[in-house]
């Protein structure tokens, strides 16, 4: 009975949240563009699918994805995995090796199969005239997501303040944006944003919050978030670094292929 009530309540909030996008599209289509809907029945059916699908997804997210992230954080910081008592006054950062390994594995595995990333890599190979290889770029981006989550968990364990670390990463990313081949910059920043997908985000978010709660001396309010940001920034950095390297190699071989975008 409980779960039915929960599903009904989630369904109600989903309907409220999806209504605006439908309203926006219908308003601009009918009032501003003054065009008729090509296939109103199909759109309504699609809308019903979205409502039901989103409701089930959100219920499942609360029942499975968040708990998986929390559980992994709790278990991987447990006394027998870390190798010392969890309430010891200070646990050295290297004792949490399995946490970083898990972060890297989850980030890499989820990104490498991401359809958007595959499409973007192929496009990049095409526009770079072959200087950039689609497969290598995809591997670099996925490695970026993995490295991002791993370094993000390392940051939570060590407690380096986000207020110092994130500005440094921002400067690096900005510097790369100015020095990497022009045509790759927008591509890399777009990919960074989509590298963490719908299924990965809840698990990674819960992992960060769980870790901040489990590691002695960390406060979930201050340290729990930031993992996804690390994944985004590291993906951008990895892609731009690869593009920079590929452009320089290609330049050595035959000068005019890459370089400026326009």
Partner 1 sequence: MGRQVQFLSRLALGAARDLGPLLIVVTLFQLVVLREPVPDLVGTLIGVALVMLGLILFVRGLDMGLFPLGESMAHAFARKGSLKALLLFAFALGFAASVAEPTLLAVAREAAHTAAMGGVIADTERARIAYALALRLTVAVAVGVALIFGVFRILKAWRTHYVLAAGYVGVIPLVAVAPADVVGIAFDCGGVTTSTITVPLVAALGVGLATAIRGRNPVLDGFGLIGFACLSPIVFVLLFGIILHGV
Question: Residues 85 to 144: which contact partner 1 by CB under 8 A?
Answer: 98, 102, 105-106, 109-110, 112-113, 115-116, 123, 126-127
**Of 109, 95, 98, 92, the residue nearest 75 (C-alpha):** 98
Give the largest Cα separation in the chain, rounded: 69
CB of 52 to partner 1, least distance (A): 5
Q: Which of 9, 12, 21, 79 contacts partner 1 by CB under 8 A?
A: 21
Contact (Cβ atoms closer than 8 angstroms) between residue 43 and residue 30 = no
Tell me, what DSSP letter sits at residue 31? I
Q: Which of 8, 44, 84, 88 contacts partner 1 by CB under 8 A?
A: 44
Contact window for partner 1 (CB under 8 A) among 46-54, 84-92, 131-139, 243-251:
46-54
Residue 78, C-beta contacts closer than 8 angstroms, at least 6 positions apart: 86
Contacts of partner 1 in 228-257 (CB under 8 A): 228-229, 231-232
Q: Which of 91, 154, 209, 246 contacts partner 1 by CB under 8 A?
A: 209
Q: Does 50 bind partner 1 (CB under 8 A)?
A: yes
Contact window for partner 1 (CB under 8 A) among 41-49, 85-93, 131-139, 242-250:
41-49
CB of 173 to partner 1, least distance (A): 5
What's the chain's length in residues?
A: 262
Q: Which of 71, 79, 88, 122 contacts partner 1 by CB under 8 A?
A: 71
Q: Does 84 bind partner 1 (CB under 8 A)?
A: no
Q: Which of 37, 79, 88, 122 contacts partner 1 by CB under 8 A?
A: 37
Helix pair 134-158, 200-214: axis angle to 10 deg = 20
31 burial level (CB within 10 Å; 0-12, 13-18, 19+): exposed
Q: Does 160 bind partner 1 (CB under 8 A)?
A: no
Residue 109, C-beta contacts closer than 8 angstroms, at least 6 positions apart: none
Q: Which of 227, 239, 247, 250 contacts partner 1 by CB under 8 A?
A: 227
Q: What tokens were used for 91?
A: 């646990």
Contact (Cβ atoms closer than 8 angstroms) between residue 231 and residue 196 = yes
């Amino acid at each position: 009975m409980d779960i039915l009530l929960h599903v009904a309540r989630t369904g109600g909030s989903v309907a409220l949240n999806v209504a605006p996008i439908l309203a926006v599209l219908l308003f601009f289509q009918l009032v501003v563009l003054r065009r008729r809907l090509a296939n109103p029945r199909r759109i309504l059916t699609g809308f019903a699918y979205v409502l039901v699908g989103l409701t089930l997804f959100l219920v499942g997210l609360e029942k499975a994805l968040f708990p998986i992230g929390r559980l992994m954080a709790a278990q991987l910081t447990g006394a027998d995995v870390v190798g010392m008592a969890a309430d010891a006054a200070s646990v050295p950062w290297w004792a949490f090796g399995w946490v970083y390994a898990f972060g890297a594995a989850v980030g890499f595995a989820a990104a490498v199969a991401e359809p958007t990333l595959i499409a973007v890599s192929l496009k990049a190979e095409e526009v770079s005239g072959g200087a950039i290889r689609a497969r290598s770029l995809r591997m670099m981006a996925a490695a970026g997501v993995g490295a991002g989550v791993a370094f993000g968990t390392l940051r939570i364990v060590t407690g380096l303040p986000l207020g110092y670390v994130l500005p440094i990463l921002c400067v690096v990313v900005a510097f790369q944006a100015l020095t990497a081949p022009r045509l790759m910059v927008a591509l890399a920043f777009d990919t960074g944003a989509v590298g963490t997908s719908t299924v990965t985000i809840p698990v990674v978010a819960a992992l960060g919050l769980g870790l901040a709660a489990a590691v002695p001396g960390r406060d979930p309010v201050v340290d729990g978030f930031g993992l996804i940001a690390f994944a985004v920034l590291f993906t951008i950095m990895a892609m731009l670094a690869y593009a920079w390297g590929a452009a320089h190699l290609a330049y050595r071989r035959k000068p005019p292929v890459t370089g400026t975008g326009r």
